[in-house]
Amino acid sequence: MPRARDLGITIGGLPTGPTNSVLDVAGVGLGHVTLTRETARTGVSCLFLDEDAYPRPLVGGGAVLNGLGDCTGFLSLQESGLFESPVYLTSTSQVGRVYDAAFMLELERHPAIVDDIFVPVVAECDDSFLNDIRTMWVSPDDVQAAHQAALASRGGTSPPEEGSVGGGTGMSCLGFKGGIGTSSRVTPGGHTVAVLLMTNFGQRDRLTVDGVPVGRLLPEHVDPPKPAGSCIGVVVTDAPVDPIGCERLARRIGLGLARTGSTAHHGSGEIFLAVSTTARTDRNGTVLDEDGGGRRLAMRGLDDLFEAVVDAAEEAVLNSLLMSPTMVGRDGNTSEGLDPDTVVRLMREHGRGH
């Protein structure tokens, strides 16, 4: 399956990193476990941020565009500005199982967690259109396998798996099959900004690709009823950004979603996170590294980061769609894959793409 760039679709003017993904930020990994047996159309994804994020937390922040969703650890992140956990993405019905397994995994990794609290970050979207949510499919072994896959992917030279994988397995987006998507940008100041999305939102007739109203140009199609949906987004950057700056970066994901057709309708949970991998603190919130939070970026530098987030988020949505083939789920419910050839034809008719 092609990514947006493979079809000649270029979003914005900033260059991408080598893999055009979250793997372009040093130390970051992404791993998935995909469950498609029987009536399961679900899974778990792990975004690994740093080897010692618990004893030396990263700086982070979050923002909510529409709050009918959930993300464990979000409130403590907003309060403290500290990011000490990998980010796990999964189905609404599997959050408890993933949380428990993630907690036990960190206890094994950090024996010092005795008298201190640790809250795993687990975010969800509703995959009940395709997935049988009455069965608890995800096991502790699945969570551990996703974590190990994320560790193994660090420093990779190829993009990670996208589309109908991991937590994105049962997701639908803008009337088509959605899932996991990622993209990156490099700012004029040399900082890498990457976005990871789990897409599960929107209506077919609003699908927009680089400004072209693709959804309205497609033949009329009656969509079966689907859950309200949501979108989980994570910004990862090596720029030294403080907690307020991270919150502002997270908020810009919503602008990228809007470009693709999102209106953040009533039933959606658009929850966004952002983390700086170079802004480090101790567990009391004291800055440890002079370059990692001791200095604020100049305003121009923040503007470049904002632009990078918006463009990468838009492209990540497109990658999540283009990398997801048609899937048949429970009770024969079907989420149609977006046809790349049709997208290319419509883009060319409107003077876009190669």
Catalytic site includes residue 21: no
230 is catalytic: yes
Tokens in use for 246? 């991270």
Please return the burial class of 56, using the count of CB atoms within 10 Å of its CB with bins 0-12, 13-18 and 19+: middle
**CA-to-CA distance for 198 and 59, rounded, in angstroms?**
22
Give one word for 179, left, alpha or beta, with left for phi > 0 and alpha for psi -120 to 50: left
The active-site residue out of 21, 85, 128, 230 is: 230
Strand stretches in the chain, DSSP E: 29-35, 42-48, 58-67, 82-83, 87-91, 121-125, 172-173, 176-177, 180-186, 192-200, 230-237, 269-280, 327-328, 334-335
Of the residues 172, 262, 268, 335, only one is catalytic, namely 268
Structure tokens at 67: 């709050």
Q: Is residue 128 annotated as part of the catalytic site, yes or no?
A: no
Q: How would you class 336 by CB atoms within 10 Å of its CB: exposed for 0-12, middle for 13-18, buried for 19 or more? A: middle
| Angstrom distance (rounded) from CA 192 to CA 305 | 9
User: Which residue out of 106, 124, 247, 270 is catalytically annotated?
Assistant: 270
Residues annotated as part of the active site: 230, 268, 270
